[in-house]
Structure 1
């Protein structure tokens, strides 16, 4: 279970919306074309694709570059798909039964977590308009029950100060998404993908032996991943390229601490210093990254350190990887 609506969205109509229509019938609440109202109030109208900007035209005013021709073909195909979606939407906007089918298909095919959440939030208003507090409260409870039933990592808030019902990600939900986004980001590069696999294997190895040796392996593997990730940051690549092109050549940065100094991603020096301090711990503590300094060891590492340091290092990943999108991590 991902802890998100994606993966269980096909159950939303059966678990949330259809029971509400049974509630309406049982309580003899008079409504008319409620599916239509939900469609028009809560679901997004299909948006046309963005027209491409072409690089060049020939003397006859025609496209001639292969990439421009490919872009036009892609755009025309997307425009045709949009027209078909728009016609389906317009047809659904004229009949309550068609609207119900459209809503069901919308949830079944939804590819964006944000689109599902926003639709559920906006659907509160038509229920409130149709049946007042009695019906809107039933809708609120239905959404809340769905979230609890499938252990989704959201909180639901009732409307206040003229705002609609709101569905907020919880802290566990944000952390889960960040981990998943870290995995997806790493998968884009073979080296990073291999280091992510190695890190996850050290986590699994703890199942059979939660020893200091294996805790050290976990911490070291995660540092290897983040150090490699930072080495591929555009700011670091640009800095090292500039050093390579200098005459005489300058010194490139290749350690985590040195790259932190040049990354230009930190909101404050203290945040950067904290990242470097954790790196210093891993380098100085015996047996994690190096032989270290035995005299600096206060005690043997244990599972407390694995949990705390892994959380800290994961929290640094949005700074180190530009392919991780914080907006999408929060809600998408």
Structure 2
């Protein structure tokens, strides 16, 4: 599991909906109510403007208007089919609507934000039809689900899902992997960094720690080079050119970490021995890796802050 709800959604049915329906005194119309609350209600297509050109027989004569009318007719027929299916579902027998909800909802939810919204909307309907007893049971089931699949959310009562700090960081790393995998050059550099990180398992020696920080600095340099308006290939100059910083001191902080990686002996260069206070330790790796990762959204336009936080598409 990557920590996102969309990936874990196939298990929502058995872990939440089915168990909720098994709750004592759960209403028999539970699934029909959930279907109505969560499945989008079909909307009729917008009617085209009245035709303006007719032939001698009174039939439409403008090819463009004829095409629009035909397209509208097809859309109207599709809407009528969807409307009938929707109305049938919300009035169907329990077993039928269970199947339609299970199959239809998973196909409908396309994004992480939609999955989160679905659970929140479900609470509102469950609270309406089942009161505190059923809604509390639902909250407990969702809390257990979040814990079981290590999802990146906290649940605040009465019912609202909020991204966690650890979840945001996990999603940032996930997006970095996705972004770099689409480019052969970046993919190779990302692989070098991850391999250096894994090598620490054999022993967090100063040499391995410095190699890991060096690979991560290389990664930021590589993604920064392809950012809009960037012509430089060094991280310090990239920080000057990206134009994404909200304050000059934040930009200077990024440049300072870059200077550290250049000046500390053995990270990227021979360095400046006089600036070294002590040898590198594991805590330095943890701190510097988190700091460098945190600067990534400023150095590329290929990461979505909304998606990383969990409110976007």
Give the TM-score normalised by the residue count of structure 1: 0.78
Is the 1:89–1:102 contact (alpha carbons within 8 Å) kept by the matching residues of 2? no
Is the 2:196–2:215 contact (alpha carbons within 8 Å) kept by the matching residues of 1? yes
User: What is the CA–CA distance in structure 2 between the aligned matches of 1:266 and 1:115, rounded to whole Å?
Assistant: 30
User: What is the CA–CA distance in structure 2 between the aligned matches of 1:86 and 1:192, rounded to whole Å?
Assistant: 45
Q: Deviations over 1:15-35 (max 9, x none)?
A: 111112211xx3x35x35222
- What are the ranges of 5 or more consecutive residues in structure 2 without an aligned counterpart? 45-61, 65-74
Residue 5 of structure 2 aligns to a residue whose secondary structure is coil
Is the 1:35–1:96 contact (alpha carbons within 8 Å) kept by the matching residues of 2? no
Q: 1:205 aligns to what?
A: 199
Match of 1:176 among 170, 175, 182: 170
Residue 275 of structure 1 aligns to a residue whose secondary structure is helix
Q: How does 1:95-110 map to 2 (within 5 A)?
A: 95=92, 97=94, 98-106=96-104, 108-109=106-107, 110=109
Q: How does 1:70-149 map to 2 (within 5 A)?
A: 86=82, 89=86, 91-95=88-92, 97=94, 98-106=96-104, 108-109=106-107, 110-149=109-148
Structure 1, 4-13 or 175-184: larger mean CA deviation: 4-13
User: What is the CA–CA distance in structure 1 between the aligned matches of 2:87 and 2:219, rounded to whole Å?
Assistant: 49
Say if 1:220 and 1:122 are closer, same or farther in 2 by CA, change over 3 A. same
Structure 1, 124-133 or 5-14: larger mean CA deviation: 5-14
Q: Deviations over 1:118-163 (max 9, x none)?
A: 101110111111121111111111111111122222111113xxxx
Give the TM-score normalised by the residue count of structure 2: 0.82
Say if 1:194 and 1:132 are closer, same or farther in 2 by CA, change over 3 A. same
User: What is the CA–CA distance in structure 2 between the aligned matches of 1:46 and 1:211, rounded to whole Å?
Assistant: 61
User: What is the CA–CA distance in structure 2 between the aligned matches of 1:34 and 1:143, rounded to whole Å?
Assistant: 17
Say if 1:84 and 1:189 are closer, same or farther in 2 by CA, change over 3 A. farther
Q: Does 1:328 align with 2:310?
A: no
Q: Does 1:157 align with 2:151?
A: no
How many residue pairs get aligned? The number is: 283
User: What is the CA–CA distance in structure 1 between the aligned matches of 2:80 and 2:186, rounded to whole Å?
Assistant: 40
Say if 1:92 and 1:195 are closer, same or farther in 2 by CA, change over 3 A. same
Report how far residue 7 of structure 1 moved. 3.2
What is the CA RMSD across the aligned residues, in angstroms?
2.7
Q: 2:218 aligns to what?
A: 224
Match of 2:33 among 19, 33, 37: 37
